[in-house]
Amino acid sequence: MSQTKKLLYVNRKAPYGTIYALESLEVVLIGAAFEQDVSLAFLDDGVYQITKGQDTQEVGMKNFSPTYKALGDYDVHKIYVEQESLDARGLTLDDLLPLTWEDEDNDWAEKDSIKVISAVEMAKIMNQSDVVFSF
Amino acid sequence: MKFSVMISEGPYTHQASDTAYNFTRAALESGHECFRVFFYHDGVNNGTRLATPPQDDRNVVNRWSELAKEYKLDLVLCVAAAQRRGIADADEAKRNGKDADNIAAGFRISGLGQLIEAGIQSERLITFGD
């Protein structure tokens, strides 16, 4: 399997209430070992998956949001968030986890992983992907 | 064309498995090649041989088993998802200290890497679910 494909993981659902977000993250972490060109997309209620200050104590679920911060270490650093989805929920970039990665080609400079894009741009990214994993 | 399928929902509650089955059968009958069918999330519940639907209803599990036999399909249940939901083969049952297994004929249990590989190796990966 020497070929490299563009993989896009599309996350559309809230982090709790259903298991999709958690099990999607598990795929991303396993998939990182395959050394493919990986992107993540967050849209609809999926944008809540990477919001700051998640506290699940009262609902008895594991808060797995800190795991997203590890994505940069797995070389997963192209994270696209749909502007329209943020707007519809009264969220801004400041409400999201500060996800970063270190660029080894640029003296390990710390860079932001999240890019907020429009629905039109999101459609282009989906169109340019070879494989879309939909969660 | 070489394709793979991911099924994200369990049988009967949701139509995903039915639609995936109809799609896969039609594609195979049209001469296309199915690299793998991967069952994830509640989709792993499509692989229990203990399901006993009413006799006047379709048997979702058996249908997959029969299709797998007919076309030598690779039906894979995600191990992590299966463990959570109580789907086990003999090895998994033994490893986790369970007193029984319940995997249906034609299915096997393996890791998430099988899903990624299916995406890489196939020309299309088609998801059936919400």
The predicted structure's pLDDT at residue A3:
77
Say what the pTM is.
0.94
Q: Which residues of chain B have pLDDT under 50?
A: none
Active-site amino acid positions of B: 78
pLDDT tens per residue, range B81-97:
999 999 999 999 999 99
Q: Is residue A41 over pLDDT 90?
A: yes
| Residue A64 sits at the chain B interface (C-beta within 8 Å) | no
> CB–CB of A26 and B80 under 8 A?
yes
Indicate whether A1 belongs to any domain.
no
**Domain residue limits at A106:** 6-134
Indicate whether A96 belongs to any domain.
yes
> CB–CB of B116 and A30 under 8 A?
yes
| Residue B125 sits at the chain A interface (C-beta within 8 Å) | yes
pLDDT tens per residue, range B101-117:
999 999 999 999 999 99
Q: Is residue A132 over pLDDT 90?
A: yes
Out of B40, B116, B120, the one facing A23 most closely (by C-beta) is B40
Q: Is residue A73 over pLDDT 70?
A: yes
The predicted structure's pLDDT at residue A69:
96
d(CA B48, CA A89): 40
Report domain extents, chain B: 2-128
The predicted structure's pLDDT at residue A53:
96
The predicted structure's pLDDT at residue B105:
98
A-facing residues of B in 22-61 (CB < 8 A) are: 40-41
CATH of the domain at A15: 3.40.1260.10
Taking only Cα atoms into account, the Rg of chain B, rounded to an integer number of angstroms, comes to 14
Nearest to A1 by CA among B120, B91, B64, B33: B120
Quick one: tokens of A59? 């609902």
d(CA B22, CA B16): 10
- Residue identified by tokens 């003999």 is B90
H/E run at residue B68: helix B60-71
Q: For domain B2-128, give the CATH number.
A: 3.40.1260.10
The predicted structure's pLDDT at residue A13:
97
pLDDT tens per residue, range A77-120:
999 999 999 999 999 999 999 999 999 999 999 999 999 999 99
Indicate whether A127 belongs to any domain.
yes
The predicted structure's pLDDT at residue B130:
85
The predicted structure's pLDDT at residue A1:
53
The predicted structure's pLDDT at residue A121:
98
- Total count of domains within chain A: 1
Nearest to B73 by CA among B113, B117, B33: B33
Indicate whether A80 belongs to any domain.
yes
| Residue A36 sits at the chain B interface (C-beta within 8 Å) | yes
Q: Per-residue confidence at A2, pLDDT binned at 50, 70, 90?
A: low
